[in-house]
A and B are shown apart, each in its own frame.
Chain A
């Protein structure tokens, strides 16, 4: 057991894994600065602000989805709750924005608790449950909003949420940043972070070790829905509008951001800060598209390709597949040392 000798490469690999999202973000920043200039445009501080505005809305959805993925689940209903949150905030917050926000968050809490309980206690795969939840929430949003986009009359709420703070932030994006900071701190400095990663990494082991698995799962789904509702409510106030169907764009953004943030689908790995890095990277990419005036189809080709690429890199059996391919192609060359002069080395196999 020469773990002393092996420690260094392991550390390096670990470091590479955890720092990858931030390296990608750095690369993105460079591209963000350089690419516009190549086509005679420029990226300004305002563009960074605008990216952060996008981050404020969809970064929170990414965090919501990411937390469930770290816990080894997948919450497809985030985009449904995002829609419902915005509709509730607009419909119930006409007199007081805070009241509307509160109702949206409470609704998120309720939805999350119900979905979480079904998933944790009945041990059902979260995918079909949250798919049903998504459709249900979508229908509810449309029904509450009379199948129409609803406007929010108090424009000052949105404009104060969106007023520029420190050049690149707004109140809204500061809320998102704040949420990320809180979640990061909680993941790092309380036992919650460890427990969430544990139930995602190995649920049986966690149960045996004494982690309150069911309670944690319910909590994660509740948090996921609350964060989605928060994102929806904030964007609704910002746009002074709630739409009956937010479409799938927020979900696609969230998934891509979470994967860029180094969260694996197998669960057990990931940090809120890295998810933030992924979400900011993607927000910058979208803003870059808009600076360059990229046609929709090109941006969907690029984001689709990016998603597939990240999925390939994160695929659990990639290494194994590669090994199998290598042994099939190259035969036993890799094992030549141990094979020695035995006949196996000279026989090309059965084909």
Chain B
């Protein structure tokens, strides 16, 4: 359980004192009048679901994002952080959730990269000894500082990222989901490093979904929900259930909803056998039936999205036996997979989904132009009527038909995107990655309804999600994944939130932190 608090910790003046921080992204309020303080020598956990506001706070503290309002005091001095360099000068080092390593550079170069105190003149390999020491401390004995980061495995990269933060000798070390892609031994190394840091009187902000880690490592925890700060408590006062209660607001009872379509069809429509997606996923098996909604629940790096991308034909070297309605699908080409009846909706809505500058109408019909074309000409009437049909299905105002998608809210953008992917008559298998990422609560409900309707029409739906709520709310069958492998497959009505959370965050090692459900 939580460490005993160091004497004087509660009374020492806070190193970081943030008051009334508010941040909006368009219509979404990511942080709403949040206050937060960090004391010297503590490991402070930030807890909450995806979208609760933790990452936004972290970005503000590290100068990547500027708040709309609020004050930030560091070491008693009010500061405005415009750039990551300024945050660094104030002693903040960040390990971002998204890796900020440059694959084309070597390990050593990456560790030195962006360090404002690194000298102008450098010798190649000049800091090799120091680098070596940090790497060794993180259990990376086998990694040479001259290795290119592009040649490292994902877990190793994560540790390099941590090594960089450690090398900066910062007053505050922010670790945003540092362990999502790590193995147990690797996690142990991270823990040791964190303990060393705080032993020197420095502080660590630790963002994690993994409650066991929080209980084991952290002194205090601040819990966030829907962009608001709920509470800050000493971890020693809390147990796992208490944390979950604070995070969820209340503990939802399982089986609020029956697995609607669990028994909808007798014939398996989609079988996946021995799917491998280099470099992470091995031996993935799954059978999905029409009408069924299957969740692939797992953290970033679990392999869930890789499975979807492979099934969509977007991974050239993915292999495995996939058949839809008895017809075999050869992976590796989006065209072939679409022709076989798969539809994929990427989680990266802006980068890989929508055509932002174009109208709602064109976005809605973008993938079905072949069917709407005669003699090479797009039949405008038909296209318009299909678009009208779809815009009605997703419940948007028809007046917005000609609006560029870029000017819509995130929720509406996602509806347009999914509207395009759902309702494909030919489709048999819907692959949805993070279907409600960046969508507010209202939009989320509507999108979930859309997915259910699609399933009711007989499509098999597989979605990948990192969000517990979404998994529990939407799925008939839950497949939890960790580190590229399936942990467990169980029907929704038998699943509890604690169990799923446990599987997603601990993989097979749930006993490690002693918090088996």
Contacts and interface: CB of A to CB of B under 8 A. Distances in A.
Q: Do chains A and B touch in the complex (CB under 8 A)?
A: yes
A191 interface: yes
18 contacts: A1-B155, A3-B143, A7-B147, A189-B121, A189-B122, A198-B102, A201-B105, A202-B104, A204-B98, A206-B100, A210-B88, A210-B113, A323-B316, A338-B274, A339-B274, A339-B321, A343-B321, A344-B323
Nearest to B95: A208
Interface in A297-351: 320, 323-324, 327-328, 331-332, 334-335, 338-340, 342-344, 347, 349-350
Contacts of A209: 84, 100-102, 110, 113-114, 164
Contacts of B100: 202, 204-209
Given A1-B155, A197-B105, 16 more contacts: A6-B151, A189-B122, A198-B114, A202-B102, A205-B100, A208-B100, A210-B115, A268-B104, A323-B316, A328-B333, A332-B330, A338-B274, A338-B320, A343-B328, A347-B328, A349-B336
A188 interface: yes
A1 B113 contact: no
Contacts of B98: 204, 208
A328 B319 CA distance: 13
Nearest to B283: A338
B142 A4 contact: yes
Contact of B156 (A3, A201, A342): A3
B193 interface: no
Contacts of A205: 99-102
Contacts of B124: 188-189
B70 interface: no
Contact of A349 (B104, B143, B273, B328): B328
B153 interface: yes
A211 B113 contact: yes
A204 B336 CA distance: 33
Contact of A1 (B156, B323, B332, B336): B156
A202 B381 CA distance: 45
A195 interface: yes
B245 interface: no
Given A3-B151, A208-B100, A190 B164 contact: no
Given A4-B142, A344-B321, A350 B339 contact: yes
Interface in B303-325: 316-317, 319-323
A268 to B, nearest CB: 4
B151 A10 contact: yes
Interface string A1-41: 10110110010001000000000000000000000000000
A132 interface: no
Contact of B319 (A198, A206, A269, A339): A339
B428 interface: no
Contacts of A188: 124
Contacts of B474: none
Q: Which residue of A1, A198, A210, A324 has the most chain B CB atoms within 10 A of its CB atom? A: A210
Q: Which residue of B123, B151, B156 has the most chain A CB atoms within 10 A of its CB atom? A: B151
Given A1-B156, A324-B332, A194 B105 contact: yes
B4 to A, nearest CB: 35
B466 interface: no
A207 B104 contact: no
Interface string A197-236: 1101110111111111000000000000000000000000
B201 interface: no
Q: Give the contact-size bracket for chain A.
A: 35 or more
Contact of A190 (B113, B121, B274, B336): B121
Contacts of A194: 105, 109, 112-113, 122
B423 interface: no
B116 interface: yes
A332 B83 CA distance: 50
Given A3-B152, A338-B276, A344-B328, A202 B333 contact: no
B104 A197 contact: yes
A234 B236 CA distance: 73
Contacts of B155: 1
A33 B322 CA distance: 58
Given A10-B151, A342-B273, A191 B142 contact: no
Q: Which residue of B88, B144, B156, B332 has the most chain A CB atoms within 10 A of its CB atom? A: B332
Contacts of B340: 350
A349 B274 CA distance: 18
B113 A206 contact: yes
Contacts of B409: none
Contacts of A320: 316
A335 B320 CA distance: 8
A34 B321 CA distance: 56
B102 A323 contact: no
Interface string B87-99: 0100000101011
B481 to A, nearest CB: 18
Contacts of A3: 142-143, 147, 151-153, 156
Nearest to B323: A344
Interface in B373-428: none
B148 to A, nearest CB: 7
A324 to B, nearest CB: 6
A206 B114 CA distance: 7
A211 B114 contact: yes
Given A4-B142, A191-B118, A194-B112, A323 B332 contact: yes
Interface in B151-174: 151-153, 155-156, 164
4 shortest interchain CB distances as A-B pairs: A210-B114, A209-B114, A208-B100, A268-B104
A144 to B, nearest CB: 37
Contacts of B512: none
Contacts of A195: 113
B105 A198 contact: yes
A143 B386 CA distance: 58
Contacts of A327: 316, 330, 332-333
A325 to B, nearest CB: 10
A198 B84 CA distance: 16
Contacts of B330: 327, 331-332, 344, 349
A1 B280 CA distance: 10
B327 A350 contact: yes
Contacts of A198: 102, 104-105, 109, 113-114
B320 A212 contact: no
B31 to A, nearest CB: 19
A198 B339 CA distance: 40
A342 B320 CA distance: 10
Given A194-B113, A197-B102, A198-B102, A208 B319 contact: no
B352 to A, nearest CB: 16
Interface string A161-177: 00000000000000000
Nearest to A345: B321
Contacts of A328: 333
A201 B153 contact: no
B328 A212 contact: no
B96 A208 contact: yes
Contacts of B123: 189
Contacts of B156: 1, 3
Nearest to B64: A208
Nearest to B101: A205
A188 B84 CA distance: 25
Nearest to B106: A194
Q: Which residue of B85, B94, B104 has the most chain A CB atoms within 10 A of its CB atom? A: B104
A25 B359 CA distance: 52
Contacts of B112: 191, 194
Contacts of A350: 327, 336, 339-340
